[in-house]
Amino acid sequence: MLRLPRPRVRWSSGATQTLVVFALTFCAVLPVCCHRLLHSYYFLRSAYLDAASEDALRQSLRRGQDALRFWQSASAPAPSPASAPALSRPPELLVAVVTARRREALRYHYLLQVTRELTALLSGCGERPCAQVVLCDVQSGPDVNEDAELLERHFPVIRRPYRSSLPLDTFEREKRDYVFCLRRAFRLARPRNMVVLEDDAVPRPDFFRVLNELLSRRFAAESLYVKLYHPERLQRYWNPEPYRILEWVGLGLLGATLLLRLLTVWNPCSLSLRMSAGHLALLAVYVMAAAELLGRHYLLEARRLSPQLYAVSPATECCTPAMLYPGNASLRVAAYLDRAACSRGNAKDTVLYRAARDTPGERAHSVEPNLVTHIGAFSSIRPNPGSAQAALTPVGALWLTSAIPL
């Protein structure tokens, strides 16, 4: 009887080594290390997402109550009436916080959390203040924004006049409120530069240091706006943004080169890899796959070591919780927004992105990693679940991931 020879699997075979290394990395090591990392492909949503969302809500509630006690006990001289008089001299940087009453999130006191963190950061600036802060309360209707009223003794407050007839579309109303705040805040302070924060965007510890670094660079003066936040779940390499693909390939080639150099001096497993175009390409694919599956968000965190390491790239479309408007760009932004009618699918972030892309001479940029942490689990303009527990349905919990601090 004719016997066919059996193929032998030898460790010295390059194909065998490649298969084993890839299998161990992507089927064993990374799943074990990354199954609890929220922004990794290996994150076990069914096991951990609900608990992570509940924990994020608990932490936000605790911080909100702490901020409420802080501001209730803080003493400050009462300013002039709440009509917000003009500031004494133009600041180098004005931080305008846009706020509205969020009925479902009253206990979380988002605005108080943001202003408490801003106050802590400003106290570390020394004799020369990093910025001046103004609040823009766009609450409409008979209800008052209790948090904004509490802060009147500490910050100038701009108030949107009551409007009996509101635009039907919530996105158009949000845009008009934003434009109102841009113009009134600029008129109030005449700042050299302005940052606009939504009231659920908490500045990170290096917020002002990075802003100073950004404003010292030439690109800032040529920008219509600089985005300071992009949702972590949208920061992956596998993305239509061309610069991210180039960054991804560059990371792969750099990592592959370093690995091949390392293997020339330390190769305990006797891998048959050498400096060649084929092996370089193979290892580049290996590094690129590992970086994407781990999560680009976690690699970006290494840039927080220094303000000079923050990356500046072309602006992405989504979202506007934190925006830097260099010079008088805030007035140009207000004009662009005035020309468009906003609706679902054409919100103010989309309008601004298209204006910067389609208008000759305009440029817009994004900064990575984020300079603020988004804590908002309840919107001031969109329908919200009836309770925090209802927000923790599978769909609601997925939406809440952007509010989970890391």
What CATH number was assigned to the domain covering residues 50-233+301-374?
A: 3.90.550.10
Q: Is the Cβ–Cβ distance between 228 and 282 less than 8 Å?
A: no
Displacement of CA 54 from its chain's centroid (Å):
21
Report residue 395's pLDDT band, with 50, 70 and 90 as the boundaries: very low
Other CB atoms within a 10 A radius of the CB of residue 210 amount to 23
Residues counted in the chain: 406
Report CA torsion sign: 201, 355, 177, 222. positive
User: Is the pLDDT at 82 greater than 90, yes or no?
Assistant: no
The ranges of the chain annotated as CATH 3.90.550.10 are 50-233+301-374
Judged by phi (left if over 0) then psi (alpha if -120 to 50, else beta), residue 214 lies in: alpha
For residue 190, what are its two tokens?
């005449």
- Residues 219-269: pLDDT tens digits? 998 999 999 999 998 999 988 788 899 999 999 999 999 999 988 888 777
φ and ψ at residue 121, rounded to 5 degrees = -70, -40
For residue 296, what are its two tokens?
């680009």
Assign 3-state DSSP to the chain and report helix, strand, coil percentages, each to 5: 50, 10, 40
Identify the three-state secondary structure at position 76. Answer: coil
Q: Which of 207, 403, 151 is nearest to 324 (CA)?
A: 207
- Residues 33-73: pLDDT tens digits? 999 999 999 999 999 999 999 999 999 999 999 999 999 99
The confidence score (pLDDT) of residue 16 equals 79
Distance between CA atoms of residues 81 and 242, nearest Å: 50
